[in-house]
Amino acid sequence: MFDSGFKICYYMCNILNIVLNLRDKRREKMALKSKRNIVILTMGILTAAGYVIYAASGTAPKVGDLKAWAVVMLAALGIAVGVQIVTQIIFHVAVSIRITVKEGDMDGKAAERIIKSELREDERDKKISLKASHIGYSCVGIGFIAALVALAFGAAALTALHILLGSGFAAAFVDGATSIFLYEKGGTKNE
């Protein structure tokens, strides 16, 4: 159990190191918000993959036991939220350490000022967030319709639940990917 926890932390630190060193060809460095979204996306994909691996394993509940599956799905959502919170905390600590070392500022005031200035939300950020949310939530709508269609064609209720859960994970992925694209492209077309 602890061994797998250390492996997860090790891989998470490697992902953070890769993301913090990303460079964009057009600019000197990638936006901090884009890097944060990449880390969040990566951890979301790993969380979704963990759920799929569990669901496909022999330890998962039986197909007809919807109550047990509901508990598993709720636990998966809780774990996903917890992983995102821990990821945000670790990301901000890693960025602070990196800025402190780079700036040579031992009291951390410069790192705090730089992070606050880069993560401050302005009108452009609000537009990007709104556009990404609209595109992401369309995945949830499509997933809901797909679940209803699957039920109408005689699919098991568990299949519909998995379609709904999958559309939620897909919505989060599309939301994050759209945000990264819009930040790195330079904004929205209707500015």
Q: Which of helix, strand or coil describes residue 120? A: coil
Give the domain-ending residue among 101, 120, 139.
120
**160 in Cβ contact with 147 (< 8 Å):** yes
Q: Which domain holds residue 31?
A: 1-120
Least Cα distance to 171 among 151, 143, 147 occurs for 143
pLDDT tens digit sequence for 11-64: 555 555 555 555 544 445 677 788 888 888 888 888 888 888 888 888 888 888
**82 lies in the same domain as 130:** no
The conformational region for residue 104 under phi > 0 = left, psi -120 to 50 = alpha, else beta, is left
**6 lies in the same domain as 76:** yes
Number of domains in the chain: 2
pTM exceeds cut of 0.85: no
pLDDT of residue 106: 63
Angle between helices 66-103 and 109-119 (to 10 degrees): 130
**85 in Cβ contact with 7 (< 8 Å):** no
**87 lies in the same domain as 41:** yes
d(CA 144, CA 161): 10
d(CA 103, CA 90): 20
